[in-house]
Every structure is written in structure tokens, then in C-alpha cells.
Amino acid sequence: MDNKKITVTSPLLPELESFSESLKEIWESKWITNNGAFHKRLESALCEYLKVPYVSLFTNGTLPLITALQAMRVTGEVITSPYSFVATSHSLWWNGIKPVFVDIDPATGNIDPERIEAAISPKTTAIMPVHVYGTPCDTDAIQSIADKYGLRVIYDAAHAFGVEKDGVSVLNAGDMSTLSFHATKVFNTIEGGALVVRDAETKKRIDYLKNFGFASETEVVAPGINSKMDEIRSAYGLLNLKQVDRAIAARRNVALQYRERLKDVAGLRFFNDMPGVRHNYSYFPVFVDESEYGMSRDELYFKMRDAGVFGRRYFYPLISTFSTYRGLPSATPSNLPEAHRMADSVICLPMHHELGGEDVERILLLIER
């Protein structure tokens, strides 16, 4: 038996020699944070690559969510999905906002627009959808609802780096979109994140908020926090941006192999590419029907783990089941049947740019047997 561990993800790393050259330049400048040259270059490069007007860099992917809510002065209640990473709802809680959970569309894992309108109350001020696994939400339907009721829309696009629909970045939807550049993501800066905004004035306000509210050396215009990305991670990100397309292509190749081999396996379901969408293949979730497959999701998960293959039950459990949120009226299981069904059956297979043919074969043989 092959004793090599196969992890669910692996970080995209720049060449050490190239990174060392960037570090040398930073050392010589003695400017290691506070909107330095590498920080400015990365913001500009990301705007070009992502096809968006303005990007503000952050030190992780959670702080852009918290800051977006502050910048847009969102209060009261926000409609969101229980099928996400906890940072989505935690950002609301940290702002004193009540999350209102609505069910998901089983075809995508994303928030179901048909459920949103019924959840709107006089206290609702915004919608926070999530592009789950990088699959685009129905942005047109969501925007139509938001326009009808005068609501803000902030997208948690942590998984959606580089995703486009009909040639347009999904990050341009809504009022703002947030990104995560965590080490597990398609594009990473070790830790990091960004906020995508539409105009220069909003970008200026965001930049104030992430730097203690300073507008100048002596003027503080808002109760901001410190969430700036430093020069070292900015340099790391610039190098990774040069190779991210190759990494996405490698991920796509793995996804195609999975789909070809698993398409006829009874009791397993997965998502196919959507027409007109440039996917980034950030995850490869498989949904297990125990009655047809002959094994539960958890049994498959532990079988793989015991063989040195590490999948991830992502997203399980649902956010709505955690102690902070389970008492909310919208968190009742009867309100979220599709989300519970998906959370209880999902396992994300290993998906990253370094998976070789032998790795993929080993994973598939475990699943097929």
C-alpha cells in the first residue's frame, strides 16, 4: 500500500528563488507594511486579472466581510445561507446583525432566490449570498429582489477567485464582493483577502476603515481597525498570480478525471460545469446517497482517511446548528431541508494543482470499490 498522504488541498507556492529576490527588495527598502510598493502592485494586478474596477487588500478573508458591513452601514437583519464557512455568519454577529437563514438550491449549493423574498422583514437591510465552491449564484434574481426592496447585496466570494459568467467576473455583482486568499484557496497570499468595490470613493472609505480610520497623518474619520496586508504577503501574491492559471488548468484536469470515472457510480452525485462559466475548480464535492451507494458519507470519509486519503466534509455541520445560531427561528431544520440534506451527504475529494495521475487513481479506486 502507498503510504503517501493525499491531502484535500495543497498550497500554491511561488518559486523560492523568486520569492527571495522579492524579499531582498523589501529588505533594502525597509518598507514592510503600510501600503508599500508591492501592496500597490498587487492591488493593481488583481484588478486587471479579475476584471474588476477596485480592489482593497486585507490581512485575511474574514475582515473584508466585517468591513463591508461597516462601510455600508448595514444593521438589523441580513438574509444569508447556512451552507457556508462560519466566517459568513460570524461577520454579521460581530457587527451586531441578526443572520436570517434561508434554504439552498440543491442544484448548486447556493442560496435559493425563491426563498429570499419570504424571509424579508421590516428589519432586513441586506442579502449576503455565497458563491459556494465557486459556483456562481443566480445574481440576476438576487439583484432583482434587492432592487425591489431597497436592500444591499454583499457577496461572500471566498471560493470564486477568477470565476466569470459570460466573460464577466462574478465579483462585479451586487454592491461589494469579498475574497479569501487563505493558503487553502486557488490563489493565496498565505493568509489574506480582499474587498472588491465599484467606485473610487468607496475604495477610499474602505482603505480608511482598514487602517484605524486614518484619512491623513492627523485626521481619523471613522472607528477603523488594522487589517492591512503587509509587503511580504503582497510580494508572495504577485508571484502566485503569475502561475494561478496553470494551477487552475491542473485542477480542471483532475475534475475531468473524477467526473469521467464517477459518472456511472450509483449513489454518487457531483456538480458539472455550468454553461458560459469560467470555473476555478476550487473544490470537488461529491454527494453520497447511502441507500444506493451502499455506504454512508461518513463511512466513505473514514475509509479514505484510514487509507491516507484526506477528504473534507465541507460544509458540515451547518452553521445553523452551532450553539451561537441554533436558537434563531430561521435555524430550525424544517426551514432548511435542502441544506441539511447536502451537509449530511457531502464529501469534498482532494483537489489541488499537485495531484498526479497515480494520486487520482488511488482516490478513485477507494471510492469505486
From the CB of residue 152, how many other CB atoms can be counted at a distance below 10 Å?
18
Given 186, 210, 241, which residue is the final one in a domain?
241
In a domain, 4, yes or no: no
State the total domains in the chain: 2
H or E stretch including 289?
Answer: none
Residues forming beta bridges with residue 178, ordered by sequence position: 156, 195
Based on the domain organization, do 274 and 126 belong to the same domain? no
Based on the domain organization, do 35 and 182 belong to the same domain? yes
Based on the domain organization, do 162 and 50 belong to the same domain? yes
Q: How far apart are CA 80 and CA 195, in angstroms?
A: 18
- C-alpha grid cell for residue 218? 492627523
Based on the domain organization, do 323 and 180 belong to the same domain? no
- C-alpha grid cell for residue 305? 482517511
Nearest CA to 40 out of 273, 229, 315, 171 is that of 229
In a domain, 59, yes or no: yes
Which residue range(s) make up the domain with 313?
244-368
From the CB of residue 225, how many other CB atoms can be counted at a distance below 10 Å?
15
Given 196, 220, 241, which residue is the final one in a domain?
241
- C-alpha grid cell for residue 155? 457577496
Based on the domain organization, do 250 and 223 belong to the same domain? no
Based on the domain organization, do 56 and 202 belong to the same domain? yes
Q: Domain with 205 in it: what CATH number?
A: 3.40.640.10
Helix residue spans in 197-315 (DSSP H):
200-209, 231-241, 244-262, 290-293, 297-306
In a domain, 10, yes or no: no
Cα-based torsion angle of the residue sequence 197, 103, 187, 185 in order, rounded to the nearest 10 degrees: 140
Q: From first to last of its 369 residues, what are the pLDDT tens digits of the chain?
A: 467 999 999 999 999 999 999 999 999 999 999 999 999 999 999 999 999 999 999 999 999 999 999 999 999 999 999 999 999 999 999 999 999 999 999 999 999 999 999 999 999 999 999 999 999 999 999 999 999 999 999 999 999 999 999 999 999 999 999 999 999 999 999 999 999 999 999 999 999 999 999 999 999 999 999 999 999 999 999 999 999 999 999 999 999 999 999 999 999 999 999 999 999 999 999 999 999 999 999 999 999 999 999 999 999 999 999 999 999 999 999 999 999 999 999 999 999 999 999 999 999 999 998
Based on the domain organization, do 25 and 152 belong to the same domain? yes
Residues forming beta bridges with residue 349, ordered by sequence position: 284
In a domain, 42, yes or no: yes
Start-to-end CA span in the chain (Å): 15
Q: What does the DSSP assignment read for 32-76?
A: -SSS-HHHHHHHHHHHHHHT-SEEEEESSSSHHHHHHHHHTT--S
In total, the chain counts a number of residues equal to 369
Based on the domain organization, do 111 and 225 belong to the same domain? yes
H or E stretch including 337?
Answer: helix 337-343
Based on the domain organization, do 232 and 249 belong to the same domain? no
Based on the domain organization, do 58 and 185 belong to the same domain? yes
Q: How far apart are CA 94 and CA 113, in angstroms?
A: 25
Based on the domain organization, do 233 and 254 belong to the same domain? no
Given 206, 241, 276, which residue is the final one in a domain?
241
